[in-house]
A and B are shown apart, each in its own frame.
Chain A
Amino acid sequence: MPGLTSTMLMSVQSLLADQAALQVTSNNIANANTPGYTREVPVLTENTPTVENGITYGAGVTLEKVQSIRDQLLDLRISEETQQQSGAQAQLTALNQVQGLFSDSTQGVGADMTAFFNSLSQLSTNPTSIPQRQAVLTDAQNLATSFNQTSTSLSNIQTSLNLNVSQSVDQINSLTQQIAKLNAQVAQMQQLGQEPGVIQDQETQLVQQLSQLTDVSIIQTKDGQTITTANGSALVVGGQSFALQAAADSTGTEHVFSQGQDITSSIKNGSLGGILQVRDQVLPGVLNQLDTLASQFATAFNTAHESGTDLNGNAGQAFFSSAPGAGAAASFSVVITDPNAIAASSDGSAGSNGNITQMTAVQSQELPSGASPTDSFANIVFNVGNLTQQAQAESDAGTASLNQLNDQWGSVSGVSIDEESTNLITYQRAFEAAARVISTVDELTQTVIGMGASAAG
């Protein structure tokens, strides 16, 4: 049968275990509002019992470890969702800038095109009027300026997104270095049988930050987390990080390389993915549509203009100039500077307005692209609006989904003050009870000593 001393030792172990549990609880309470903190629980285990004379006696309690409560599936989903949401948000921010170029119906290419054709219609009422002719040229110049400015603004947005690429790559490299260091610490602590909860919390926070920047795949291994890019190139393996490189091609477009391989086109999510999507897919598409419109409109209008005769009796010349293909909108300009050179006449007489009908018909005439100039521009506006709305929906859904997942994460890994307060009382009572056992054993020991003294006396 165990003696008083072993009971005393058992109570001391109990005191220590309850004290540690109280410390864990108070640490949870202290970190209740710390971002990324994962709730910890004391894992108490029963000591190996002792057997004396065929009777098994319990041997008290030991604090085995302090364990962080985490759900890898939720961490994974939060990382995935963060990547998608950040990508959609980056796209939305860039697309809002693009939409700003097309959303104002009172100015820009659409409004200036309408104003130009209105001027032409007014000229048809008095084709010899120099002020009316000058007004046509002024509106033509406004239209050209709008084409130029829209194209330049789109290119400026592209340039600004391009600058963000190298900044994002630098941030990614900084984060992967930090994660690799923490990975090494986690592996070391695990080898020593220590619980790396706090380090893992920091690592999870960094991985979430990394997920905001780019799309990554995360695999848990015995050496910590292995993180790769979407196409499988290593970013972090154990304690080693692999840096991405940003390098510009001959056109100045920044590309992302991983160990010598160009991975730009495979980055779809995270803010870097969103930036690349807009820079490489959306903006070239919009610029191409604008260039096509500028080029085909100039050709169609020039054809109509060249079929008439100007005020001096000369055959009409090209009205607009535009480089074919890429850069058409940027180079769009008005060739004619003399109001007399507008070829309004269809029969060579100064008072004829026959050719103005031909020229105004261009507004609703189908271009080689399959739509009239007005409809072509409306299509661009619609496409940009649709892409912006899609990005807005994806961003909103991503935010809601992240809230949903964070809510679930909170119920698993978050600190509940109510629960911790209850635990505090439970461990306090257990501590008091263990202390009471010690004082009882102490009294019993005094009694035994007293018995010995009286027997000796």
Chain B
Amino acid sequence: MAEFDRTRKQVHDEHLARVRALSNEVQGAICALEKNDLSLLEESLARQEILCSEIVSLRAKSTESRLPDVSSAAEIRHAYMALALKNRVCAALLKRSDRTVGLLSGLYRCYGAGLDKKSMDHTWSCEV
């Protein structure tokens, strides 16, 4: 029984650590976007992918073994809530970055439009 409890606690601790690590990684991605640092963003996304697959398997184990106590459940819930908030911020930031990229690509389409007669009446200012 004590062995089972230990395993349960271990699964919970690992699960919690991974969710918190994922939260930190999402924050890292936000910082990378803020600094316009593509390589930092790509590294963070790669780490997020690994953490996500680890969390999926830990969640399955966690469901099988049930949570050790009420406070552990609360810890996990808070960690997921913090992750959800970070995800919301990141999603909103990506949406905003997409607008900037959209405007920039519109600008370059305009510059490249010299060869395309049809594009002549569609200018960057129209997109803006």
Interface residues of A (CB under 8 A from B): 73, 76-77, 80-81, 84, 219, 389-390, 392-394, 396-398, 400-401, 403-405, 407-408
The prevalent SS among residues of B at the interface is: helix
Which residue of chain B has its CB nearest to the CB of A220? B125
Residue numbers in A under 8 Å from B6 (CB-CB)? none
Report the Cα distance A405→B103, complex, angstroms. Answer: 13
**A76–B30 contact, CB under 8 A?**
no
Residue numbers in A under 8 Å from B30 (CB-CB)? 400
Give 6 CB contacts A-B under 8 Å: A77-B100, A389-B88, A397-B91, A401-B97, A404-B33, A407-B35
Residue numbers in B under 8 Å from A81 (CB-CB)? 96
Report the Cα distance A390→B103, complex, angstroms. Answer: 26
**B128–A400 contact, CB under 8 A?**
no
Report the Cα distance A404→B30, complex, angstroms. Answer: 10
* Given pairs A394-B92, A397-B93, A407-B34, 18 additional interface contacts (CB within 8 A): A77-B103, A84-B96, A389-B85, A389-B88, A393-B88, A396-B92, A397-B88, A397-B89, A400-B33, A400-B89, A400-B93, A401-B34, A401-B93, A404-B33, A404-B34, A404-B97, A407-B35, A407-B36
| Closest Cβ–Cβ distance, residue B105 to chain A (whole Å) | 11
**B34–A403 contact, CB under 8 A?**
yes
The prevalent SS among residues of A at the interface is: helix
Q: Is B67 an interface residue (CB 8 A)?
A: no
Choose among B92, B95, B99 the residue that contacts A77 (Cβ–Cβ < 8 A): B99
Interface residues of B (CB under 8 A from A): 30, 33-36, 85, 88-93, 95-97, 99-100, 103-104, 107, 125, 128
Report the Cα distance A407→B95, complex, angstroms. Answer: 18
| Closest Cβ–Cβ distance, residue A315 to chain B (whole Å) | 46
| Closest Cβ–Cβ distance, residue A411 to chain B (whole Å) | 9
Residue numbers in B under 8 Å from A392 (CB-CB)? 85
Residue numbers in A under 8 Å from B92 (CB-CB)? 393-394, 396-398
Residue numbers in A under 8 Å from B33 (CB-CB)? 400, 404
Residue numbers in B under 8 Å from A390 (CB-CB)? 88
**B85–A393 contact, CB under 8 A?**
yes
Report the Cα distance A449→B116, complex, angstroms. Answer: 66
Report the Cα distance A394→B93, complex, angstroms. Answer: 8
Residue numbers in A under 8 Å from B125 (CB-CB)? 219
| Closest Cβ–Cβ distance, residue B116 to chain A (whole Å) | 21
Report the Cα distance A400→B35, complex, angstroms. Answer: 9
Report the Cα distance A408→B97, complex, angstroms. Answer: 12
**A80–B35 contact, CB under 8 A?**
no
**A73–B96 contact, CB under 8 A?**
no
Report the Cα distance A396→B36, complex, angstroms. Answer: 17
Which residue of chain A has its CB nearest to the CB of B124? A73
Chain B CB count within 10 A is highest, among A396, A398, A400, A403, for A400
**A73–B103 contact, CB under 8 A?**
yes
Report the Cα distance A403→B36, complex, angstroms. Answer: 10
Residue numbers in A under 8 Å from B85 (CB-CB)? 389, 392-393
**B89–A408 contact, CB under 8 A?**
no
Report the Cα distance A396→B34, complex, angstroms. Answer: 11
| Closest Cβ–Cβ distance, residue B53 to chain A (whole Å) | 25
Report the Cα distance A406→B99, complex, angstroms. Answer: 15
Residue numbers in A under 8 Å from B34 (CB-CB)? 400-401, 403-404, 407
Residue numbers in A under 8 Å from B90 (CB-CB)? 397
| Closest Cβ–Cβ distance, residue B90 to chain A (whole Å) | 8
